[in-house]
Amino acid sequence: MRLKRYFGDKAFYKLAFTVSVPIMLQNLITNLVSMVDNIMVGRLGTEQMSGVSIVNQITLVYILALFGAMSGIGIFTAQFYGKKDMDGIRYTLRYKLIQAVGLFIVGLAVFLLFDEKLISLFLHESDAEGDIALTMAYGKDYLRVILIGLLPMAFTQVFAGTLRETGDTFTPMLAGMIAVVTNCVFNYLLIFGKFGFPELGVVGAAAATDISRFVECGIILAYIAVKRKRFPYFKGAFRSFYIPKDLLGRMTYKGLPLLVNEVLWSGGMSALSVAFSLHGLNVVAAYSISSTVSNLFSVAFMAMGVGIGIIVGQNLGAREYEKAEDNVRKLITLSVLMSVVIGAIMFFSGGFVTRFYNTNEESKELARFFIKVWACVMPLHAFSNASYFTLRSGGKTIITFIFDSGSVWALMVPTAFALYYVFHLNIFFVYPITMGIEILKDLIGYILVKKKVWIRTIV
């Protein structure tokens, strides 16, 4: 009978999938097209793919910092919506826009001033398997163009995030799907110079990404303008930028740890890439391929995490604490079970994608190995991801900061470097050992969720 507590009825699954499936589909299309993009760039050669992969690792820090800032404020948006407080949502919108523009300015300055130094972190002179100088040149070319799309992406995060937090997950999904298809089409046209377009290589890949980001932002803003009566909280939201001092303080206090968390977490992922790159440029290429595949197969549990944040956040805002606890238990179970099935599919089929890359056989073999390892640890990541969003939904942002980025920097990064420098192990040991550390994070997550420290209303 106790087992039934972990499974919901028809109404529960309808709610869970109504919220999560649009996010899942958007992420699926995004990552599917990202895979196609990666394959297209991979057709150009190992140096081109490695240069683009390195820049994407670097810009991921900005993207996740933006995500963290919006998510921290979004906790309040979801709870204000559960409370039916339109003024509260307007205040969160204003703060989101201020933070988004501020992060854009900081990110642009960092990337322009330190482009070569950042890229060089991933390149090592001892690596005799590829042209280091050529990889640097491709990376710099790609970075200069990709910066153009950072501002529209920031605006998209502000408005699409608010739509999701107030129950409209379909519109951001549709805009995202159109954007990624646009990206895919222009990648084909601009990378290879088809139908009269110039053949731009990696610069074409960056330009296509920029175009898609402007398209996505334009669709979201146009939809809000046309359907503004459906969203009363947008009315008068930007007539001023007044935010009550008390609310501003609470949003900053709760949101700043999430922003710092995403910066440190993404920085930790980049540090892991640096540690893996010590094993050679082939590993950089292989890691790029495997990450693209693993991101595609991970969309289900990632979307379920966002769904937990939305559903449970609204429960907490409405002070439905028992319902929130029941939903968390069932949503975590659903997320893990889905990842077990999807992980099995990934294990047996994910390596097929490596056939489409124009890179050496060693890189392909490494990529297939990384894919199988990730498939095995996917349920562990599903549980920790669900735990993270559960803790975050109740505003426990400092705890989530320690739980998420703390585990990366305290456990995974030191392990990856120590296994190389101290124990002199090759990548076939370093990668699975590093990925397997996730089980420790799961144990911490289980304890925190079980203690119910997240059950609280913050609005």
Residue-wise pLDDT for 183-201, tens only, equals 889 999 999 999 999 999 9
Lowest mean pLDDT among 16-20, 85-89, 393-397, 440-444: 393-397
For residue 270, what pLDDT is reported?
Answer: 83
Lowest mean pLDDT among 165-174, 210-219, 412-421: 165-174
pLDDT band at 123 (very low <50, low <70, confident <90, very high): confident
Q: How confident is the model over 293-310, as pLDDT tens digits?
A: 898 899 888 889 888 888
Can you tell me the mean pLDDT for 260-285?
Answer: 84
Can you tell me the mean pLDDT for 313-320?
Answer: 82
For residue 194, what pLDDT is reported?
Answer: 93
Can you tell me the mean pLDDT for 161-172?
Answer: 88
| pLDDT at residue 66 tops 50 | yes
For residue 212, what pLDDT is reported?
Answer: 93
| pLDDT at residue 127 tops 70 | no
Residues 158, 123: Cα–Cα separation, whole Å = 35
For residue 439, what pLDDT is reported?
Answer: 93
pLDDT band at 19 (very low <50, low <70, confident <90, very high): confident
Residues 257, 454: Cα–Cα separation, whole Å = 15
Residue 456 or residue 198, greater confidence: 198
Residue 396 placed within a domain: yes
Residue 459 placed within a domain: no
Lowest mean pLDDT among 37-41, 146-150, 158-162, 184-188: 37-41
Residues 62, 266: Cα–Cα separation, whole Å = 8
Residue 172's nearest CA partner among 52, 392, 25 is: 25
| pLDDT at residue 438 tops 60 | yes
| pLDDT at residue 398 tops 50 | yes
| pLDDT at residue 418 tops 60 | yes
Residue 455 placed within a domain: no
Residue 226 placed within a domain: yes
For residue 459, what pLDDT is reported?
Answer: 61
Residue 334 placed within a domain: yes
Residue 456 placed within a domain: no
Its domain, for residue 150, covers 2-450
For residue 360, what pLDDT is reported?
Answer: 80
| pLDDT at residue 207 tops 60 | yes
| pLDDT at residue 94 tops 50 | yes
For residue 130, what pLDDT is reported?
Answer: 56
Q: How confident is the model over 363-375, as pLDDT tens digits?
A: 889 999 999 999 9
For residue 206, what pLDDT is reported?
Answer: 92
pLDDT band at 109 (very low <50, low <70, confident <90, very high): very high
Question: Whole-number mean pLDDT of the chain?
Answer: 87
| pLDDT at residue 128 tops 50 | no
pLDDT band at 124 (very low <50, low <70, confident <90, very high): low
Number of structural domains the chain divides into: 1
| pLDDT at residue 254 tops 60 | yes
| pLDDT at residue 266 tops 60 | yes
Lowest mean pLDDT among 31-40, 63-72, 151-160, 217-226: 31-40
Can you tell me the mean pLDDT for 77-99?
Answer: 90
Return the number of other C-beta atoms located less than 10 Å from residue 148's C-beta.
16
